[in-house]
Amino acid sequence: MTRGPSLSVLIVEDEALVAAELGFLVEEIGHQDVGHAMSGDEAVELAARLQPDLALVDVHLRDGPTGIDVARAIAQDCGGLALFMTANVKRLPADYAGACGVIGKPYSGHGVKKALRYLAVCLDEGLAPGLPPLGLTLSPAYAARWGLGGGLPQTA
């Protein structure tokens, strides 16, 4: 799989150590960690100001389960792409609130890096380079947008 372009990534996570680890993983594979937000309002403000290519969004933030609203605002108002990173996968609406998909917690650093590389190619080429890596589930809308049918199995 080709690497794709470098992405600017906003991390929306209320656990500081988890956010720092995600930032490290983002930078380790050549993307740019542009900021961290711990609450819904802070995340929307940063997304509007920074215009990141991708936001990694936890569902449950400091101010409650506002990550779904954050993802929707990023998709609708900021023109960006959100990816949920959550243990609360069952709380996601059927439309994924406009997000491209989800990685369920717990996740591995290796899995996150593979998912970010995959998404970088999808964003760059407008087409998926194959099935999503294990641990990444694309929303039905983005699977269709990137040339995959709904409900396709994941690869290792």
Q: Mean pLDDT over residues 64-87, rounded?
A: 91
* Domain range 8-145, CATH architecture: 3-Layer(aba) Sandwich (3.40)
Residue of 107, 111, 86 whose CA lies nearest to 96: 86
Kindly tell me the burial class for residue 112, based on how many C-beta atoms sit within 10 Å of its own C-beta (0-12, 13-18, 19 or more): buried
Q: What is the pLDDT of residue 78?
A: 83
Q: How far apart are CA 152 and CA 143, in angstroms?
A: 9
d(Cα 101, Cα 96) in Å, to the nearest integer? 7
Write the pLDDT tens digit of every residue in 31-57.
999 999 999 999 999 999 999 999 999
Residue 153 token pair: 């199995």
Predicted confidence (pLDDT) at residue 154 exceeds the cutoff of 60 = no
Q: How confident is the model at residue 125 (pLDDT cuts 50, 70, 90)?
A: very high
Q: pLDDT band for position 79 (50/70/90)?
A: confident
Q: Output DSSP code: residue 155.
A: B
* Domain ranges (residues) in the chain: 8-145
**pLDDT above 90 coverage of the chain, percent:** 81
